[in-house]
Amino acid sequence: MTSTPAEDKLVFDTKWFQVAARPFAGSSEPLYVINTTDFVSIIATTTDGKMILVRQFRPAVSRKSLELPSGHVEKGETPEEAARKELLEETGYVADKFEFLATASPAIGRFTNKMWTYFVPNARPTDDPKYQVEAGVELVLFNGSVRSLMLDEEFFSTVSHSALFAALAHGRVNLDKA
Amino acid sequence: MTSTPAEDKLVFDTKWFQVAARPFAGSSEPLYVINTTDFVSIIATTTDGKMILVRQFRPAVSRKSLELPSGHVEKGETPEEAARKELLEETGYVADKFEFLATASPAIGRFTNKMWTYFVPNARPTDDPKYQVEAGVELVLFNGSVRSLMLDEEFFSTVSHSALFAALAHGRVNLDKA
C-alpha cells in the first residue's frame, strides 16, 4: 500500500480499494485519489522460447482477456515474493531468477499504486504434486512474436502492454522472432 | 462513457467517476467497478522527427511525469475530435491526419473505460494567434529514440507506454533511431 499524505480524507472504503479526497493546490475541489495495493506483472519465458500468458474473463470490461501473469503485493510480501507466488498460482510455473526491470504508474491521474515488472527466463512447470490450477485462469504458452502479441485484439490490457514494452526496451525480448 | 449493465448499483459518485457494485457470478460479494469517460492518447511527431510530449505534476503520485498528450473524450465528441482538441490544448500543435491505431483497457480489473490511441505524423505549431498554453503543462519536443524514452524514469505512466507500444507494433515509430 502506498503511504498517503496526512491531509487525505477517506470518503469511500471497500476491501479492495479506498477513495480519498486530497486537497489540491489551486482548486476549491479536492482530487479524489484511489488507494490500493501495488501489483506485479511478469514476463516469463520457457526454455524453448515461449511466453507464459493467462486468459481470463474480466467482469469490469465484460470480456475475456489475454494478459501477462500479474497479481497484488500482499502485506508483508516483497514485490519479488509476490511475483514468484503469482506466477506459480496462475500458471504452475517456477523459475530461479526473477529480474526486476521497472516500476510504473497504472493510472497516473487517479491511482496512487505502482506496478513492479519482472523478467523471468527459463521458467519450468512446478514438480509439486499438490499444485492446483487457479480456477478461471487458463494457461497460454504463446509462441508468436512480441509484435504479433501486441497486435492481438485479445491482448488489450495497458498494464500488460507496459510491462512487455519494458522487457523489450531492456533487450530481454525481441519485437520480431529471429 | 461505457454503458453499464442494468444490475449495477451506484454506490459512490463524483463529478469525475462513479463506483458501482456489480453482482459477480460465484461470489457473494459484488465487484466494485469504476465508471469514467473514455480517453485518448496521441503519438504525434513533427516533420523533423521529434515526438511531442508533455510534462506535468501528477498529484495522485506526487511527482512530475513525462507523458504522451492525452485527455478525456467529452460527451458529444468522437474520439478523433477529442484527440485533435487535446493535442492542440496541451501542446499547441495541429495536424491533418489523425490515424486511429487501437483501443485498450487502462485498468482492466476495475475500470470500465477505454483508451483510444492515435498516431499523428507531420504535426506543426498552430498559427492561431489566440492559442494559449494550458496552465501546468510543459511542452517537450523529444529527440531521442523510442527505447531511450521507454527507459527514461520520468516516463512512467502505463497508458503512455501502451499507446507508444501500439505505434511501435504498427510500424509507425522505430525502437531505435536509424
Contacts of A115 in chain B (CB under 8 A): 158
**Sequence-ordered alpha helix ranges (H) in chain B:** 79-91, 146-150, 158-169
Q: What is the pLDDT of residues A41-98, one digit of tens each?
A: 999 999 999 999 999 999 889 999 999 999 999 999 999 999 999 999 999 999 999 9
Contacts of B14 in chain A (CB under 8 A): 32
Interface-testing mutation among A101, A105, A174, with chain B (most B C-beta atoms within 10 A): A105
Q: Do B17 and A32 touch (CB under 8 A)?
A: yes
Q: Determine the residue of chain A that is closest to B16 in CA distance.
A: A32
Tell me which residues of chain B, numbers 117 to 156, contact chain A at a CB-CB cutoff of 8 Å: 147, 150-151, 156
Q: What is the pLDDT of residues A101-118, one digit of tens each?
A: 999 999 888 889 999 999
How far apart, in whole angstroms, are the C-alpha atoms of residue B85 and residue A72? Answer: 36
Cell 523529444, residue located: B142
Contacts of B159 in chain A (CB under 8 A): 107-108, 158
pLDDT at B1: 44
How far apart, in whole angstroms, are the C-alpha atoms of residue B141 and residue B117? Answer: 19
Contact yes or no for A129/B129 (Cβ under 8 A): no
Is the Cβ of B4 closer than 8 Å to some Cβ of chain A?
no
Is the Cβ of A58 closer than 8 Å to some Cβ of chain B?
yes
What tens-digit pLDDT sequence spans chain B (178 residues)? 445 666 889 988 888 888 889 887 777 888 888 888 999 999 999 999 999 999 999 988 999 999 999 999 999 999 999 999 999 999 999 999 999 999 999 988 888 999 999 999 999 999 999 999 889 999 999 999 999 999 999 999 999 999 999 999 999 999 998 7
pLDDT at A4: 60
pLDDT at A76: 96
Question: Which residue from B100, B111, B56 is spatially nearest to A58, judged by alpha carbons?
Answer: B111
Cross-strand pairs, A66: A55
Query: Which among B19, B32, B169 has CB closest to A147?
Result: B169
Domains and CATH numbers, chain A: 1-36 (no CATH), 39-99+113-169 (3.90.79.10)
Nearest-CA distance B16 → chain A (Å): 9
Q: Do B105 and A58 touch (CB under 8 A)?
A: yes
Q: Determine the residue of chain B that is closest to A157 in CA distance.
A: B105
Q: Grid coordinates in use for B86?
A: 487535446
ipTM of the complex: 0.93
pLDDT at A2: 47
How far apart, in whole angstroms, are the C-alpha atoms of residue B116 and residue B87? Answer: 14
C-alpha B90, offset from chain centre? 12
